[in-house]
Amino acid sequence: MKLFYNVAGALAVLLGILGLFLPLLPTTPFLLLASWCFARGSDRLHRWLLSHRVFGEYLRNFEAGRGIPLKAKILATTMLWGSLMLAMPRFDSPAIPAVLVLTGACVSVYLWRFLPTLRLDRSAQR
One domain for residues 28 and 80: no
Total domains, the chain: 2
One domain for residues 20 and 78: no
One domain for residues 21 and 47: yes
Q: What is the pTM of this model?
A: 0.70
For 61-73, write each residue's pLDDT tens digit.
989 999 888 988 8
* Run of H or E residues at 97: helix 95-109
Residue 111 lies in a domain: yes
Segments forming the whole domain that contains residue 38 = 1-64
Among 64, 85, 100, the domain-final residue is 64
Handedness of CA 32, 36, 38, 42 (dihedral sign): positive
Nearest to 37 by CA among 51, 20, 24, 49: 49
Residue 37 lies in a domain: yes
For 5-40, write each residue's pLDDT tens digit.
999 999 999 999 998 887 667 788 889 899 999 999
Nearest to 111 by CA among 99, 123, 103: 103
Residue 24 lies in a domain: yes
